[in-house]
Amino acid sequence: MAKSILQNERYCYLCKVWYNLRTVRGLEEHHIFPAARGGLSERLGLKVWLCHAHHNEPPLGVHFDARAMRWLQDDARRAYDAVHGAGALDEILRDKEGGRNGLADLS
């Protein structure tokens, strides 16, 4: 599927951004928006590599820390909108508006 729009190399995104560390072992791919959105993160490249601690371990893991999850989502939104225009991702993320499904428009 699509490559990440946030990373070109495999390292823990949060270790690098928050601590300036380049963690390359024990990486797991994280889809920034939930799978319930029909694979949106995979299709749009809204994914990053995270070390296990930042992915799936409390208290630092994005699946346990709502602030970290929100930070990643905001960063993905900025990256997507920088390429596609302000508000582009929010338009896609709307489940339904006026009978339109944002995901269907991507097909």
Spell out the residues 6+ positions from residue 82 whose beta carbon is closer than 8 angstroms to its own: none
Which pLDDT value is given to residue 37?
Answer: 63
Residue 52, pLDDT > 60, answer: yes
Average pLDDT in the 57-71 region? 96
Q: Select the more confidently predicted residue: 52 or 1.
A: 52
Q: Give the count of beta carbons closer than 10 Å to the beta carbon of residue 104.
A: 9
User: How does pLDDT run across 79-90, given as a tens digit for each residue?
Assistant: 999 999 999 999
Rounded CA-CA distance 106/11 in Å is 29
Q: Select the more confidently predicted residue: 69 or 105.
A: 69
Spell out the residues 6+ positions from residue 90 whose beta carbon is closer than 8 angstroms to its own: 77
